[in-house]
Structures are given as structure tokens and as C-alpha cells.
């Protein structure tokens, strides 16, 4: 857990601190200005992200790549330590208990990259975005559907079964909570950047407070977990006829655990595993 999380987590995970769900943030001029600036450029920001990623990946010179990385870090990473974090389903349920109001809107990444309005997978939890940004058409294009906490839990459980990674996000200049993103690689801009650019991108999207632990004795080599992992952390060994886990790549989303019928996978606190406790 980073210093920022300790400061705003009040001794807990930052996203379980009820203070970060307060309407008082709407009285903060800096917060409103930051949200306003982001929403004005939301679609253009998402729309340019694939070329930006590709351009960086195509750089052949190490010095040029390092300069691009540093430029991006300075441009985005200096505001606060991170904007979003992967959260497993059990913590999703806890967040929903604290949240209100709750709604669903069309995902801007899917709109920009897939021209899709069919599934509303962005779940803002307010009050900052639902009270302030609901009038912004670039964010709410396709409409806002308000839902109950029970409906939100059912919806998120359905996303989990589909294999969508749950991430939870904060406002850019404060600990005010914003929304859940439920998406997949490569459609999701945050997951795509994380996969392409590696762990240094943790200033934007951090791994979960958990990591998957695999019991090889229970594993029957079915491969279901391999298909679920969107962080390249699981491979299949034909020789061993078992799944092979790389805990250093694991983001702790829990999607692999949820499809393992053998009960061979569990999530453990990242802080309890010395090899990965500082890998975010």
C-alpha cells in the first residue's frame, strides 16, 4: 500500500474509506475544475491512446523510448500516485455497500474503439461524476440508467462471469471516488496500456491488493484459468499438464479463481507475499 493510500485509506483500503464517497468534494473548486477539464477532453483522450501506445512501441532507440516514457510519466503521473486499481468481486460488493447513487453508462473506450453502445459497463457511483458530469454528453452518451445496490451487485456478478476485469477509479486531483470500469483487453484503454507498457504504468492503474496463489496438487490442467487471465500471468505446461502461474505478473483480479472447479486457486493479500508485495 502506497503512502497516498495510507493517507486516504484511514487504515483500510482507500476504496473502502467512506470519507472518499462524500458529497463534500463537490464544494471543492479544484475537484470540479479537474473533472471539468477531463470531461472536456474525454473522447479525444481515449481516441488517441492506441496510436500513442503504438508509436511508443515502434521506437527502436532506447533513449527515445526512455524519453517518451518519462514524458508520459510527467504528464500524467505527477498528480497523484494512481487513478485506478484492480478490485476482485468481494471488494466490489463492499464498495457498492458504501456507494450511492449508482448508475450505468456506455463505456467510452468501447464507444471510441468498437463503436458500441450495446452494453453499459461503466458504473459511476457518485457523487462527483453522477452529480456533476451527468450533463456531459461525451461521458453520458447513450443515457444514464440509475440502478439500485442490489441491481449493481447482480450486474457486476454478471460481468465477472463474462470475464471482465473490475477496476475502480478516483478523481484526478483528490481521493473522491468515481466509477467502476468493467472491461477486457484490448478494448479497455487502461488494461491495454498496462499490458503494453508494463509495471511502470502503475502510476495510472495499479494491481489489486491481492495476488492469486495456485495449488499445483489440486490443478487438473483444464486450462480454464489460462483463458481467463488478461495479464499474461498464466500459461499451460503440456509436459506437466498443469497451469503455471507467474505471481509477478498477476494483477489479483480473481477471474481465474472464479472459474476453477477444483478450488486450486485462491486470492491472498499481496502484502503477505514478499516477492510481490511491492509490485503494483
Written out in words, the top-level CATH class of the domain with range 211-270 is alpha beta
Query: Residue ranges of the domains in the chain?
Result: 3-206, 211-270
Task: With CA atoms as reference, report the closest residue to 214 among 235, 243, 255.
Answer: 243
Question: What pLDDT was estimated at residue 170?
Answer: 85
Structural Rg of the chain based on CA atoms: 19
Q: In the chain, what percentage of residues exceed pLDDT 70?
A: 80
Half-sphere exposure at residue 124, Cβ-oriented, CA atoms within 13 angstroms? 23
pLDDT digits (tens, 9 = 90+) for 19-73: 888 888 878 887 777 777 777 666 665 654 444 455 666 777 888 878 877 776 6
CB atoms within 10 A of CB 214: 21
Q: Which residue has the higher pLDDT, 217 or 116?
A: 217
- Could you give the percent of the chain with pLDDT greater than 90? 42
CB contact set of 5 (below 8 Å; sequence gap of 6+): 13, 14, 81
Give me the phi and psi of 124, to 5 degrees please: -70, 140
Q: What is residue 50's predicted lDDT score, i.e. its pLDDT?
A: 45
C-alpha separations of 71 from 3, 56, 191, 229 in Å: 23, 11, 20, 30
Give the range among 42-51, 114-123, 208-217, 242-251 with minimum mean pLDDT.
42-51
β-pair type (165-170, 242-245): unpaired
Per-residue pLDDT band for 142 (boundaries 50, 70, 90) equals: confident
38's CB contacts (< 8 A; 6+ apart) are 45, 172
Instruction: Write the pLDDT tens digit of every residue in 168-205.
Output: 998 777 788 889 999 998 888 888 878 877 777 777 88
**Residue 219 falls in which region: left (phi positive, over 0), alpha (psi -120 to 50) or beta:** beta
Q: Is 115 buried (19+), middle (13-18) or exposed (0-12) by CB count in 10 A?
A: exposed
The cell 486450462 sits on which residue?
223
Amino acid at each position: 500500500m502506497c503512502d497516498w493510500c495510507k493517507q486516504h485509506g484511514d487504515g483500510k483500503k482507500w476504496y473502502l474509506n467512506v470519507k472518499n464517497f462524500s458529497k463534500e468534494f463537490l464544494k471543492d473548486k479544484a475537484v470540479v475544475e479537474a473533472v471539468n477539464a477531463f470531461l472536456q477532453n474525454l473522447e479525444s483522450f481515449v481516441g488517441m491512446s492506441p496510436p500513442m501506445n503504438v508509436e511508443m512501441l515502434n521506437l527502436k532507440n532506447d533513449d527515445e523510448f526512455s524519453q517518451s516514457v518519462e514524458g508520459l510519466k510527467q504528464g500524467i503521473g505527477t498528480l497523484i500516485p494512481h487513478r485506478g486499481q484492480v478490485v476482485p468481486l468481494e471488494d466490489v460488493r463492499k464498495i457498492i455497500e458504501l456507494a450511492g447513487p449508482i448508475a450505468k453508462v456506455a463505456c467510452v473506450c468501447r464507444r471510441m474503439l468498437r463503436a458500441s453502445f450495446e452494453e453499459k459497463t461503466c458504473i459511476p457511483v457518485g457523487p462527483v461524476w453522477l452529480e456533476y458530469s451527468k450533463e456531459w454528453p461525451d461521458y453520458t452518451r447513450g443515457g444514464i440508467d440509475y440502478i439500485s445496490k442490489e441491481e449493481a451487485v447482480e450486474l457486476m456478478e454478471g460481468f465477472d462471469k463474462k470475464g471482465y476485469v473490475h477496476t475502480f477509479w478516483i478523481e484526478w486531483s483528490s481521493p473522491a471516488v468515481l466509477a467502476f470500469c468493467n472491461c477486457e483487453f484490448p478494448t479497455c484503454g487502461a488494461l491495454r496500456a498496462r499490458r503494453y507498457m508494463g509495471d511502470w504504468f502503475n502510476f495510472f492503474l495499479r494491481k489489486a491488493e491481492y495476488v492469486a496463489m495456485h495449488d499445483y496438487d489440486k490443478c487438473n490442467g483444464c486450462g480454464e484459468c489460462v483463458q481467463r487471465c488478461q495479464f499474461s500471468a498464466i500459461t499451460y505446461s503440456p509436459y506437466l499438464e498443469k497451469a503455471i502461474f507467474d505471481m509477478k505478473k498477476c494483477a489479483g483480479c480473481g477471474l481465474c479463481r472464479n472459474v476453477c472447479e477444483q478450488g486450486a486457486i485462491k486470492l491472498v493479500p499481496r502484502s503477505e507475499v514478499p516477492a510481490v508485495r511491492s509490485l503494483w
